[in-house]
Amino acid sequence: MSTEKEVTIYDLARKLNISIATVSRALKDDPVVSKKTKKKIADLALELGYRSNNFARNLRTSRTNTIGVIIPRINSSFMSSVIAGMENVANSEGYNLIISQSSESAEKERVNAATLFNSRVDGLLVSLAYDTDSLAHFEPFTKKKIPLIFFDRTADKTEGTCIQIDNLRAAYEATTHLISQGNTRIVHITATPKRNVYIDRLQGYQQALADQRIAFREDYVIVGNLSQEAGADAAARIMEMKPLPDAVFVANDNCAVGCMTALKQAGIRIPADIAFAGFNNDPVSTVIEPNLTTVNYPGYEMGQIAARSLIDHLNGASSIHSTNTIILRSELIVRESSIRRKTNP
């Protein structure tokens, strides 16, 4: 079986009867070459199906102009906005992203890291899976001094920059708001306490209770995978509690909506019987009725900052320190799901 010969710059130069150097400069959009000549070369390249040989160029520059990204789930509104921010910066600087998802599996995260390392990415951006408890699979990057940045879900003692929000403070504010509406029996639905975001949100919840002299109850903490299905399962557990809780703070909006829907179907009035607050400000928070009180934080900005920090390091404009943590702002958005008293939130 024969394969068609790849068109080269030599072929373009021969057909147009111009020098190889001129073709090369034109394809790089060098201003030395006239617009008329550039157009002739571009038109012929398109006609013959010429493709730039990035592989050869990368061998010369030791760069692939690609950045690896590992995220827990692609079908997350928050992660979609993060990736959009990364792409905005990366593409403007001539970089492409290679995106992979761990599907909340530490093993798949390990495989993804190895694949991206072998693909010779210039740097790596990571948000960790639920069950990741070792960062050994990122050691090849640090040993090769390939820049590594963790965002949103980070880990302690990492060899790279971490970009996140103050999750403890945000959870504290959400819980304090629920308390300000007269609630004292507040359930917290969260995920495995291996990840910083869920550890910190639990601590913020506990601190708000303590500051208002409300006893913390272990049975009021429900751990799941924060899916809508997990929210429905949590609703079943809540219905069995005597007395019923009067509020629920959920570590993400998707799970909060699943829980709210199941409780409403069981005849529970929200917020009259049980008030709700979520986290992330996903679009679903304004679709559910009543609209969900939630914590908003800037996914797009987080993605931009992560990509910019990495590229600045690659270009020698900055260095990445293992102890460097960037904290982004967040804000509580109060909506109908939590308002009982006519007081300022």
The backbone torsions φ and ψ at residue 247, rounded to the nearest 5 degrees and listed phi first, read: -160, 155
Element containing residue 70 per DSSP (H, E): strand 66-71
pLDDT above 60: residue 226: yes
pLDDT band at 321 (very low <50, low <70, confident <90, very high): low
Q: Specify the fold of 167-297+332-338.
A: Rossmann fold (3.40.50)
Per residue in 46-101, pLDDT tens? Answer: 888 776 665 455 544 567 899 999 999 988 889 999 999 999 999 999 999 999 99
Least Cα distance to 195 among 226, 218, 216 occurs for 226
pLDDT of residue 343: 47
CB 48 within 8 A of CB 12: yes
CB 307 within 8 A of CB 85: yes
With both helix axes pointing from N to C terminus, report the angle between 20-27 and 9-16 in degrees, rounded to the nearest 10: 120
Distance CA 299, CA 82 (A): 5
Percent of the chain beyond pLDDT 70? 91
What single-letter DSSP state applies at residue 204?
A: H
- DSSP string covering 243-274: SPPSEEEESSHHHHHHHHHHHHHTT--TTTTS
**CATH topology identical between 9-52 and 66-164+298-328:** no
Percent of the chain beyond pLDDT 90? 68
Considering the segment(s) 9-52 as one domain, its CATH architecture is Orthogonal Bundle (1.10)
The CA-atom distances, in angstroms, between 88 and each of 94, 124, 149, 246, 304 are 10, 16, 17, 43, 7
Distance CA 110, CA 128 (A): 10
Provide mean pLDDT across the span 231-236: 97
Q: Can you read off the two tokens belonging to residue 159?
A: 């060899």
Residue with tokens 């997350």: 76
Provide mean pLDDT across the span 163-171: 96
pLDDT of residue 287: 95
Q: Can you read off the two tokens belonging to residue 137?
A: 């699979």
Q: Can you read off the two tokens belonging to residue 232?
A: 């429905």
- Domain locations along the chain: 9-52, 66-164+298-328, 167-297+332-338
Per residue in 322-339, pLDDT tens? Answer: 458 899 999 999 999 999
Distance of CA 163 to the CA centre of its chain: 10
Provide mean pLDDT across the span 193-213: 94
**The CATH number, out of the four listed (3.30.390.50, 3.40.1160.10, 1.10.20.10, 3.40.50.2300), of the domain defined by the range 66-164+298-328:** 3.40.50.2300
Using left for φ > 0, alpha for ψ between -120 and 50, and beta otherwise, residue 311 falls in alpha
Radius of gyration over every alpha carbon of the chain, rounded to an integer in angstroms: 26
Provide mean pLDDT across the span 176-193: 96
Provide mean pLDDT across the span 166-183: 97
Distance CA 88, CA 82 (A): 10
Least Cα distance to 261 among 238, 289, 283 occurs for 289
pLDDT of residue 251: 96
